Amino acid sequence: MFFKIFRRRPSKSRGFTLIELLVSLLIASIFLLATGMIVVETMRLDREETGRTQVQAELTQAMEYIQQDLAEALYIYNDTERPSDPQQPPGDGIPDVIQRLYAPGWIRRPDDAIPVVAFWKLEPIPQGCYAGNPTLQDIRRGNATLLNQPPLGFPRDQNGRNADWDTLVSRRGIYTLVVYYLRRNYNNAGNPTGRTPWEGNARIDRFELLPFNTEGQNNCAGRSPFFRVDPDPFQEGFLAWPSQQALQRLQREGTPQERIADAGNQGPRLTTLVSNIFSSREGSPQVAPACPQGYAFGGGRPNGVTFPGLGDNQNDVGFHVCVRQSVGADRPQDVIINITATAMERANPGLFRRYIRNATSVDISEVSRYLLPMQTRVLARGVINRQLS
């Protein structure tokens, strides 16, 4: 047998030329760049959408809280102070919360903040006023009994009478004063106004003044030095609080009511409800539109308070309310609440930092992309001595 041996002819191995390598690298770079841009854009869109969703959820929770709070109001400050001519209609253009509470110093006057709305509401009697230390559920179910006599330390008048205790028992509640503020987080130079900057360039703070000391909800004896005079809705009314007669009586007795503005940090504190609120910046004022006819702003910028773009008694679009004008608590009031949040810091931190440093360097259309406005109307359910129609 013959075997035929086949040999493969060695082939010439041929590599890539430099031009081919460069072309391949160019194509690969273009592909990677396009893919990277898609990934970066997807991540940016996802971050923006997530930021908007989170801020929208926080804004919704804050709005629901304010709604429930205002729904329990007995009287909401608006603008009913008459000018010098009594023949003119109520309203002198200055919100009553500024004339009656802020300027005299009966409420807090935080820096870089404007009072937006103030109102009175009826709160449950402290647990310490009941016999046997009942639970809150027992009180709500009506299974608790008030003490026969006020506890030691409960305030008495100069004749030793317990007028305040009798009022508390007959009323079955205590009047508290609630104030909401719009407070800036950054000044015009772009620096934080506090030690710990909040998100966004503004926030909403809540202030509550209780007739008893706030150290412990069970306290029934310690009368707050800032709240020695109860409002009388059936005589002077809430608008006249604190009445001059009552203040003069306390002065004679040697237990005057202290002004919160003079107490500094010793007075009742503010609680931040929500941040990421959009407020005025230098170069981009956001003045709130006028209220509908028959309504007045609940608050506004007091004289001397720093808030760019706002004149005296003007309101910022970030957080403002319109209250139906009413002199007393015998008529229902409804409130239009307006809040504009911003997701700019959470969705686009670079743009937010640039905006904070210099608001005029950012186009308003870029800012508007991240604004989340919300409006609602609330009917205050608390009405005193209302005549049936």
What pLDDT does 109 receive?
Answer: 94
Question: Which tens digit of pLDDT belongs to each residue from 255-289?
Answer: 899 999 998 878 888 999 999 999 988 777 789 99
Is the N-terminal amide bond of 242 cis, ω within 30° of 0?
A: yes
CB 332 within 8 A of CB 379: yes
Distances (CA, A) of 93 to 77, 296, 352: 13, 8, 35
Question: Which tens digit of pLDDT belongs to each residue from 71-118?
Answer: 999 999 999 887 766 666 678 889 999 999 999 999 999 989 999 999
Question: Does 218 score more than 70 pLDDT?
Answer: no
Phi first, then psi: give them for residue 367, nearest 5 degrees: -70, -40
Question: Which tens digit of pLDDT belongs to each residue from 33-68?
Answer: 877 777 676 666 667 788 888 999 999 999 999 999
Distances (CA, A) of 128 to 146, 173, 332, 387: 9, 13, 32, 35
Strand-strand pairing, 174-184 and 113-123? antiparallel
For 207, the token pair is: 């202030």
Cα 218 → chain centroid: 27
pTM above 0.95, yes or no: no
Dist. CA 156–CA 229, nearest whole Å = 12
Question: Which tens digit of pLDDT belongs to each residue from 279-328?
Answer: 988 777 789 999 999 899 999 999 999 898 899 999 999 999 999 988 87
Residue 315: strand pairing partners: none
